[in-house]
Chains A and B, each alone.
Chain A
Amino acid sequence: MPSTAVLAWHQYRLERRMFWRNPSAAFFNFVLPLLFLFLIGAIVSGDQDQLDVIVPGIAGMSVLSTTFSALAMNLTFLREQGVLKRMRGTPLPSGAYLSALAANAVTNAAIQVVIVVVAGRVFFGTGWPEDYLELVVFVAAGVACLAALGVAYSHLIPNFDSAPAFVNVVFLPVIFVSGVFFDAENAPAFLRDIGRALPLTHVIDGLSGALVTGASLADNAGSLGVIALWGIGGAVLAVRGFSWEARRG
């Protein structure tokens, strides 16, 4: 009997291969964030203060799109198509399957953060990260939290046709109020307060500390706490509401 870890590894490799074969997924996951980075980078070029906001902001956005958006979309598709149901009838343990799906998203997040960091160093004068440990900690915390929220959110999406609308109605406002494109401290107070209640702002704070400002893990401990709270809430909802089959009707 193949072990759970071996089965999860086979499934992960299949998910990776399928990911690269899907041109629209590859575009939304890789090209779009980089397009944003280069367009906005070009607009504010020469203004290092702005560039120092954009680079960690886009890194945070990449984590959001590769985990929250991608998992919510992907699970909706797999559920509606009956792939989840079919997998459930095989000896592949549920945990191994879901781990493989999550690891696929995590891989995309890691690849994108690396690309954004390298682009920041090469094109936007943000230099190499100040604190690699902090970078890894905040990417990992952000991935875990936003992936759990993505799985939980997929339970609300009725069908795959409506999935892009459901995802973007969260994704677009969140990236604006979370300070992806501007320093959230300059936003009106009510927007700033909303942003500070959401996890992405805190992921970006941590990435900003790691990549630019040098604010330490200890300085950003409060942000980790907020991310953890959202993550725990997301994980509980992800597990409790999980369904292997599309609702009937």
Chain B
Amino acid sequence: MSSPAIEVCDLHKSYGTHDAVRGIDFSVARGEVFGLLGPNGAGKTTTVEILEGYRERTRGEVSVLGFDPGERPAELRVRVGIVLQAGGMYRFITVREAVAHWARLYPHPRDVEEVIAVAGLQDKAETRVRTLSGGQARRLDLALALVGDPELIFLDEPTTGFDPAARRAAWETIRSLRDLGKTVLLTTHYLDEAQELCDRVAIIKAGRILAIGRPQELGVGAATRVRVSWRDEEGRLQEREVEDPTALVHELTSAAVARGASVTELTVVRPSLEDVYLELTADAAASVTADPVPARA
């Protein structure tokens, strides 16, 4: 059980002349919640769909639960649950029928009613799928991915289009998966989602990984500067970014002490994951900052 759930080594994928993925390496330990974070078109979905067995890689090595997903082994599919970015459904099926049918496709399914409850669809069990709202349909996607009781769950932008309450509920569900010891690989372009849910995050852009680590570490490791701000004697707000704040803070405070004054509004801030993300994905930053909830491509 100690071997990683997912191993990706020097993964490349080209569509014609377009290089969607250009040499990605990461591994996901069993029981870990791992996030691929990046702007639209970064190569997140391409990477995940290679691991799910939907796409063939151009080169590189990938291993999912010890199998090569490119060969689409049946033993792997019973152990994996997939939430696609956009997965269709029969129009005239009800929620309960869909979950019950999917349960029949797996050797050791979870209880149908329990899964419907986990997805928060108890009140919609008899509803036909085509009348569900976007968020409800997304929760059904999650239910269908969980009903086979998979060890590993792929979630491609699981909460896009959710209202804040539905996102919180979905996060609770995803956390409960970790508590059950499941491995989760999720993609998102929401920073708070990555920060809330993921044990580790890879920031990905233009087909490459720019930074990888625990959300807290990424703030320290990738962008090493610390932002110090204070109000000077003339009452102007000053801000400076430094590698090590010790000297600057000492200078400010000792000067103030010497004057018998205090440094007002002094703050020392480590960069958040968001700062790191914006810095690393600078080209895309314009669209990200202008539109904190980027539209889906």
Contact = CB atoms under 8 A, between A and B. Distances in A.
Interface of A: 1-2, 7, 10, 14, 17-18, 21-22, 78, 80-86, 88-93, 244-245
A77 to B, nearest CB: 9
A245 B86 CA distance: 11
Contacts of A86: 82, 84, 87-89, 144
A82 B88 contact: yes
B89 A91 contact: no
B89 A2 contact: no
B290 interface: no
8 contacts: A1-B74, A78-B88, A86-B82, A90-B77, A90-B105, A90-B148, A91-B105, A245-B54
B85 to A, nearest CB: 9
A86 to B, nearest CB: 4
Interface centre among A14, A80, A89, by most B CB within 10 Å? A89
B77 A22 contact: no
Nearest to A6: B104
Given A18-B93, A21-B92, A89-B54, A10 B87 contact: no
Measured as residues with beta carbon below 8 angstroms from the partner, the interface class of chain B is 20 to 34
Residue of A1, A2, A91, A244 ringed by the most chain B CB atoms within 10 A: A91
Interface string B97-108: 100011011110
A139 B93 CA distance: 31
A85 B105 contact: no
Q: Please list the 8 inter-chain residue pairs (A to B) with the smallest Cβ-Cβ separation, ordered nearest first.
A: A81-B88, A82-B88, A21-B92, A86-B87, A89-B82, A83-B88, A91-B77, A91-B78
A88 B93 contact: no
A81 B91 CA distance: 10
Contact of B84 (A14, A21, A80, A82): A82
